[in-house]
């Protein structure tokens, strides 16, 4: 399901239940209800719009540390996948495998 669909469903659920419960509320109660909806929506929105494009690099930290510690002898599956992802995604100039491993280990 796309992120915008999840966000729309969450917004309908959040607003719908509070609006229905607020039919006979005083103006102060309505203001307080809508004041609580906005922060909830603002804190929920980033989790639906985050980009997982860095996921292959994040999951390779342990393998990157092993690669660094073994001076390039140990190439774990996660690091290999991250290396291929990096080479396919980013343009020149590309880092060497050791530089990539150091970047992954220090960044994620």
Give domain limits for the chain: 3-49, 55-107
What's the rounded mean pLDDT across residues 57-76?
93
Which residues neighbour 25 within 8 Å (Cβ) at sequence distance 6 or greater? 33
Which of 19-23, 34-38, 70-74 has maximum average pLDDT?
Answer: 70-74
Alpha-helical runs (H) found in 1-108? 3-21, 27-49, 55-58, 61-69, 77-89, 97-107
Percent of the chain's residues with pLDDT above 70: 80
Mean pLDDT of the chain: 81
Residue 77 has pLDDT above 70, yes or no: yes
Candidate from 32-41, 78-87, 94-103 with smallest mean pLDDT: 32-41
């Amino acid at each position: 399901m796309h992120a915008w669909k999840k966000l729309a469903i969450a917004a309908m659920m959040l607003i719908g239940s509070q609006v229905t419960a607020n039919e006979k509320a005083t103006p102060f109660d309505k203001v307080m209800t809508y004041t609580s909806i906005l922060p909830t929506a603002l804190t929920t929105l980033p989790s639906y719009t985050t980009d997982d494009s860095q996921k292959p690099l994040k999951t390779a930290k342990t393998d990157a540390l092993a690669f660094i510690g073994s001076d390039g002898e140990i190439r774990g599956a996660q690091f290999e996948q991250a290396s291929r992802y990096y080479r396919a995604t980013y343009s020149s100039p590309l880092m060497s495998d050791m530089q990539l491993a150091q970047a992954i280990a220090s960044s994620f």
